[in-house]
Amino acid sequence: MIHHVTTEIAVIGAGVVGLAVAEALVAQGHEVVLIDPEPPGSGASYGNAGTIADYAVLPVGTPDVLKNLPSLLFDRNSPLAIRPGAMLSLAPWLSRFMLQSRRKTAERNARAIAELLSGARALWQDLALRSGGADLLQHNGCLYLYETEKAFRAAQADMAYRRGLGVAVDLIGPQDLAQLEPNLPDMAGAAYFSGAAFLSDPGAMMQCLAEAALNYAGFLNGRIDRLTRDFDGIWLEGPKCRVRAKKAILCAGAHSQPLAAMAGDKVPLETERGYHLEWQMPAPILNRPACPSARGFYLCPMTGRLRVAGTVELGGLTAPPSRHRLDRLLQGARKIFPDLPKPSARWMGFRPSLPDSLPVIGPSSGGADVIHAFGHGHIGVTLAPITGRIVADLVRGKQPEVDITPYLPTRF
Ligand SMILES: Cc1cc2nc3c(=O)[nH]c(=O)nc-3n(C[C@H](O)[C@H](O)[C@H](O)COP(=O)(O)OP(=O)(O)OC[C@H]3O[C@@H](n4cnc5c(N)ncnc54)[C@H](O)[C@@H]3O)c2cc1C
């Protein structure tokens, strides 16, 4: 059976970005239908590390990463690896990524990320409160851990750079770290983002957002494969649905590229696949998320469990999860907590990633009746509320407070 729906605004994709966008539009009094073939919040937005990472101002592509790229990519065990067999299809994205990793370009990207991140914590506080999820937003800060003296020394420059972009961070030695996190093994030191927040259960927070948004918005369980325009609006079509809307907001995460092209924009969107493992753990082993920075994952205390989430695998949307990546994640976690038993859950998700680590936010080239809001990479949870606010301003015809020039689809 085909569902026929007519609405003022269709939001394609009900991940954290689509949910935050729908919430902001509904609050502005619009008629909204969210469309997704999966339950709301069950994609990348479910399995992430849950950090409201307003300190994550560095793009993935930096001169350091560029220098080490061959060894990183071709070492199957590195925190940033490429799936064997995906090299050819990824070559165009990788060459753009390399260009974006040059010093001046990377610094420009960092400034554009910092601009979006600057209000993230306060906006999340408001959103969590409005959605009934305030208890799931914790305020214990976050840690980057340095296992060697050399890495800790190198962190000085990294943190000085972040401070220059408005990030509040303290470098702390082993004794202060042991007081904060007595269960961690000895480390050379840590960077402590004491004001940072995190979600103690991203899946539960997604449920809160979905319930809040769906109090006022409709939900259509279907996939959109085709986007066309006529004189009076937009048609969105898929195997199970046909939707007529005045406006569409494209929030399909890593799956947004084909629909963006139909709206008029050729966007170099790829996915950085990430993984998580979980252990049931009624008493938390940590008080806050901690990232052993050389290992590329977070150890996250979540409600009733420990989640270890992260690593980057460039590998496309269709290949099955890599057993090797999961094994490496487990080995890495056991380097920190050697007694971890067999994990109780394993997961892979798709970060939606552009070569410059910036999201695509703004009107489509084919017209302002389609607004793009995808490609948030490593910080999509953090940036969802600001994205919702920008989209709501654009729909209203108001100039967003943030200058959106760096995020426009026409930048490629
Ligand atoms: C391991 C890992 C750890 C992470 N940790 C953090 C973190 O600590 N902090 C942080 O801020 N971010 C983190 N991220 C990134 C964050 O999870 C993502 O950036 C964010 O979830 C992207 O949200 P989204 O709504 O764009 O995408 P998604 O959550 O993937 O949602 C997209 C939705 O679109 C739907 N969809 C797809 N195609 C169609 C279609 N054709 N029609 C209709 N619907 C469609 C999908 O079913 C899906 O529900 C992490 C990611 C990973 C993988």
Q: Which fold has domain 53-88+135-197+269-353?
A: D-Amino Acid Oxidase; Chain A, domain 2 (3.30.9)
The answer for 186, left when phi > 0, alpha when psi is -120 to 50, beta otherwise, is beta
**Closest-lying ligand 1 atom to the alpha carbon of residue 273:** 53
Pocket test for ligand 1, best of 3, 5, 35, 45 (most atoms within 8 A of CB): 45
pLDDT of residue 79: 84
Angle between helices 120-130 and 202-214 (to 10 degrees): 60
Q: Where are the beta strands (DSSP E) in 139-283?
A: 142-146, 170-172, 189-193, 197-199, 218-220, 226-230, 233-238, 241-250, 270-280
> What secondary structure letter does DSSP report for 398?
P
Digitized pLDDT (tens) for each residue of the chain, 412 residues in all: 889 999 999 999 999 999 999 999 999 999 999 999 999 999 999 999 999 999 999 999 999 999 988 888 888 888 888 887 888 899 999 999 999 999 999 999 999 999 999 999 999 999 999 999 999 999 999 999 999 999 999 999 999 999 999 999 999 999 999 999 999 999 999 999 999 999 999 999 999 999 999 999 999 999 999 999 998 899 999 998 999 999 999 999 999 999 999 999 999 999 999 999 999 998 999 999 999 999 999 999 999 999 999 999 999 999 999 999 999 999 999 999 999 999 999 999 999 999 999 999 999 999 999 999 999 999 999 999 999 999 999 999 999 999 999 999 999 9
Residue identified by tokens 């259960």 is 201
Please report, for the chain, how many H helices and E strands are present, in that order.
12, 20
Tell the burial category of 324 from Cβ atoms under 10 Å away from its Cβ (0-12, 13-18, 19+): middle
pLDDT of residue 71: 84
13 Cβ below 6 A of ligand 1: yes
pLDDT of residue 86: 87
| Count of C-beta atoms within a 10 Å radius of residue 95 | 12
Could you tell me the distance, in angstroms and rounded to a whole number, from the CA of residue 66 to the centre of ligand 1? 26
3-46+204-266+357-411 and 53-88+135-197+269-353: identical CATH topology:
no
Could you tell me the distance, in angstroms and rounded to a whole number, from the CA of residue 43 to the centre of ligand 1? 5
Long-range contacts of 77-81 (CB under 8 A, 24+ apart): 77/328, 78/296, 79/294, 79/295, 79/296, 79/297, 79/310, 79/311, 79/312, 80/296, 80/311, 80/312, 80/314, 81/311, 81/312, 81/313, 81/314, 81/325
**Closest-lying ligand 1 atom to the alpha carbon of residue 39:** 49
- C-alpha 120/C-alpha 34 separation (Å) is 23
The closest of 315, 386, 373 to 114, measured between CA atoms, is: 386
Instruction: Give me the half-sphere count of Cα atoms (radius 13 Å) on the Cβ side of residue 395.
Output: 29
Pocket test for ligand 1, best of 11, 51, 113, 376 (most atoms within 8 A of CB): 376
pLDDT of residue 76: 81
- SS3 (DSSP) at 225: coil
386 Cβ below 6 A of ligand 1: no
- SS3 (DSSP) at 144: strand
- Could you tell me the residue ranges of all domains in the chain? 3-46+204-266+357-411, 53-88+135-197+269-353
Q: Give residue 313's Cα distance to chain centre.
A: 15
262 Cβ below 6 A of ligand 1: no
> What secondary structure letter does DSSP report for 321?
P
**Closest-lying ligand 1 atom to the alpha carbon of residue 309:** 1
Could you tell me the distance, in angstroms and rounded to a whole number, from the CA of residue 15 to the centre of ligand 1? 6
Tell the burial category of 94 from Cβ atoms under 10 Å away from its Cβ (0-12, 13-18, 19+): middle
Task: Supply the residue whose CA is at minimum distance from atom 3 of ligand 1.
Answer: 48
Question: What type of residue sits at position 313?
Answer: E
273 Cβ below 6 A of ligand 1: no
**Closest-lying ligand 1 atom to the alpha carbon of residue 36:** 44
Could you tell me the distance, in angstroms and rounded to a whole number, from the CA of residue 24 to the centre of ligand 1? 18
8 Å CB contact between 394 and 30: no
349 Cβ below 6 A of ligand 1: yes
376 Cβ below 6 A of ligand 1: yes
C-alpha dist (Å) from residue 116 to 361, 376, 383, 390, 412: 11, 11, 7, 10, 19
In the structure encoding, which two tokens stand for residue 42, read together? 């069950």
**Closest-lying ligand 1 atom to the alpha carbon of residue 300:** 8
C-alpha dist (Å) from residue 265 to 231, 233, 242, 250: 20, 18, 22, 12
Q: Which fold has domain 3-46+204-266+357-411?
A: FAD/NAD(P)-binding domain (3.50.50)
8 Å CB contact between 293 and 258: no
Give the CA-trace dihedral at 408, 398, 118, 294, to 10 degrees: -30
pLDDT of residue 81: 86
**Closest-lying ligand 1 atom to the alpha carbon of residue 259:** 41
pLDDT of residue 77: 83
48 Cβ below 6 A of ligand 1: yes
